[in-house]
Structure 1
Amino acid sequence: MLGQSQAFSGFSVDDLGEARRFYGETLGLEVEETGEGDMTVLVLKLGSGAPVFVYPKEGHTPASFTILNFPVDDIVPAVAELERRGVSFQRYPEFDHDEKGIVRVGGSGPAAIAWFTDPSGNVLCVLQEN
């Protein structure tokens, strides 16, 4: 029934201005603002073509799971550049991280992954695929 739908994703933040700065300036994504007043949202334009809507929510609770995955060709320089831009990487006790916060993974999934959060506490990651 929905197989032909042009589905898109969205998530909430507690401060739309801070989200605009982070996603646009820090991460370097194309960000558009649309709507008016209380109905203002951000639209992240990603390489996949599907928009991602970012909307303000009173009483926002950060997503405790990864909401956006950013594949990169080489995770080491990607992490270094994000750190240079002020991003701090998360370390989770169930994983072995290197000194930069990168987890090396075996098997058929990503070869390496590093998690970070947006200013509202939502979890994102950069990952290098096998």
Structure 2
Amino acid sequence: MLATLPAFSSFSVLDIDEAAHFYGDVLGLSTSVARGMLTLTLGSGAHVLVYPKPHHEPASHTVLMFPTDDIVTTVEWARSRGVVFEMLDGVGDDGIMPANEWGPANAWFRDPSGNWLSIVGEPASDPVEGS
């Protein structure tokens, strides 16, 4: 039964107006605000509900991922719009963690409320057995 319902994801932020500016004006997503909550419409057509929480604490995990077949160009575009990428261990000077045996290339950044987001590149090739 649940498989046929139009499920959606959600996460909290400190300030809806600030989030609407970031997700709409900076990242270029389609956004709408109703009843004090922000709805993001993703490229897939899926919706994400962003709600205000007075004592918001940023998620310790990635809440939203943007897959791309050209991570370098996508990261450069985001950086040109003011996005600051996290320089974590293993991340190159370009802000991108290369694909490896554990997963695809990634470039992590945060929204104004501190939530983790990422641009995800093509997955790494499967390791060849016996090599």
Same fold (TM > 0.5):
yes
User: Which amino acid in the other structure matches residue 23 of structure 1?
Assistant: Y
Show the counterpart of 2:92. 98
TM-score by structure 1 length?
0.88
Instruction: Give the superposed CA RMSD.
Output: 1.3
Report the Cα distance in structure 1 between the residues aligned to 2:102 and 2:116, rounded to whole angstroms: 22
What's the CA shift for 1:124? Answer: 0.2
The offset of 1:27, in angstroms, is 0.2
Q: How many Å separate the matches in 2 of 1:77 and 1:47?
A: 17
Deviations 1:38-57 (A, max 9, x none): xx101000122221001111
Q: Does 1:71 align with 2:67?
A: yes
Q: Where in structure 2 are the equivalents of 1:1-130 lying within 5 Å? A: 1-35=1-35, 40-93=36-89, 96-107=90-101, 109-110=103-104, 112-130=105-123
Equivalent residue of 1:129, what SS? Answer: coil
Displacement of 1:108 in angstroms is 7.2
Q: What stretches of structure 1 of length at least 5 have no aligned partner?
A: none
1:4-27 C-alpha deviation (Å, 9 max, x unpaired): 221100110001111000000100
Provide TM-score, normalisation by structure 2: 0.88
How many Å separate the matches in 2 of 1:29 and 1:91?
Answer: 24
Identical pairs, percent: 50
Runs of 4+ in structure 1 off by over 3 angstroms are none
How far residue 85 of structure 1 moved from its aligned partner, in angstroms, is: 1.0
Residue type of the alignment partner of 1:121: G
The structure with the greater share of residues assigned to strand is 1
Q: Which runs of 5 or more residues in structure 2 are unaligned?
A: 124-131
Q: Match for 2:43: what amino acid?
A: G
Q: Give the distance between the partners of 2:8 and 2:41, measured in 1 at CA.
A: 11
